[in-house]
């Protein structure tokens, strides 16, 4: 069933990050508003600005970015488009991956580097405190306690509200939680790739927000005649919309952040917030990729 609304993202439900930051569960990932290889300026900066403003108009209150997207281009465009931010808009960013060129990503978790990047993110976003700051990757060359210890200091200084992790195992989350209060995890997860299922179960048990990146990948499920193709025809929705609707149905802690650089694609994605899968449809999609 599809519910018509002027704010489809608001129909996706609400989750409180850290227990005190309510966001609509269907958010927006701002990685794609940069150039090719997530490097440099976008081909159409004006359209990127329109995408962000339209996302908020459609009920998005959770926007996820990172200092490494551009680098800094994504954060700067977010500021241009949305600053001063509406009271209910939460901007999450990440630090801990360095860039030397398009498609190149290297973890650096040295405390002084993370502090420098957090300070730059504050400036680029135009905020005095980052609502959710995520360690983009654990640096194997730096003890996790040192990386997170610096984020805890930034938190104590009032520059970070909540701390999250990205691409981690359950063991790593538990190691991190012995050092700081972790409120969210961002791992690769979608209908076709559920390798982080154990992490999702942990997040559900512990009340952590689970942010699936690459959320609308559907693989062969959307091929002509496949289960997602068939379901989309029956539902009058696109395969991507059903993949997002499946994520929202999958868990109450799920916070999908589909990204795009085009307004039309954004509007299409966010309609997923209005789709309610039947038990049969949900089970069919779950089992098809299971």
- Residues marked active site are found at 69
Sheet strands (E) in the chain: 14-17, 21-24, 28-29, 62-64, 90-95, 97-98, 106-107, 130-135, 160-166, 182-188, 209-213
Take residue 48 and report the two structure tokens written for it: 């990127």
CB 25 within 8 A of CB 13: yes
CB 184 within 8 A of CB 211: yes
Q: Helix, strand, coil % (nearest 5) of the chain?
A: 45, 20, 40
Rounded to 10 degrees, what is the CA torsion of 102, 129, 206, 62?
-60
DSSP string, 239-267: HHHHHHHHHHHH-TTB------S-HHHHH
Give Cβ neighbours of residue 244 (< 8 Å, ≥ 6 apart): 26, 215, 216, 256, 258, 269, 272, 273, 275
3-state secondary structure 191-207: CCCCCCHHHHHHHHHHC
Place of tokens 């805890």: 152
Take residue 130 and report the two structure tokens written for it: 């980052």
Place of tokens 């610096």: 150
């Amino acid at each position: 069933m599809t519910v018509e609304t002027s704010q489809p993202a608001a129909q996706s439900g609400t989750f409180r990050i850290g227990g005190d930051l309510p966001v609509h569960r269907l958010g927006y990932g701002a990685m794609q508003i940069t150039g090719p290889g997530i490097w440099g300026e976008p081909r159409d900066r004006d359209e990127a600005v329109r995408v962000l403003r339209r996302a908020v108009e459609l009920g998005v209150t959770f926007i996820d970015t990172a200092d490494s997207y551009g680098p800094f281009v994504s954060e700067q465009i977010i500021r241009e488009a949305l600053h001063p931010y509406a009271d209910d808009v939460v901007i999450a960013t990440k630090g801990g991956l360095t860039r030397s060129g398009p498609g190149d990503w290297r973890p650096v978790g040295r405390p002084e580097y993370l502090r420098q990047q957090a300070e730059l993110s504050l400036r680029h976003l135009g905020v005095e405190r980052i609502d959710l700051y995520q360690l983009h990757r654990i640096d194997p060359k730096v003890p996790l306690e040192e990386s997170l210890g610096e984020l805890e200091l930034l938190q104590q200084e009032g520059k970070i509200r909540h701390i999250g992790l990205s691409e981690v195992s359950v063991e790593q989350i538990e190691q991190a939680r012995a050092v700081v209060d972790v409120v969210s995890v961002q791992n690769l997860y979608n209908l076709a790739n559920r390798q982080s299922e154990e992490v999702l179960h942990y997040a559900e048990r512990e009340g952590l927000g689970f942010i699936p990146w690459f959320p609308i990948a559907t693989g062969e499920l959307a091929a002509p005649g496949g289960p997602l193709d068939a379901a989309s025809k029956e539902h009058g929705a696109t395969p991507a919309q059903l993949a997002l609707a499946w994520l929202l149905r999958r868990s109450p802690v799920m916070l999908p952040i589909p990204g795009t650089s085009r307004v039309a694609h954004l509007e299409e994605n966010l309609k997923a917030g209005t789709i309610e899968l039947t038990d049969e449809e949900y089970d069919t999609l779950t089992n098809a990729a299971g």
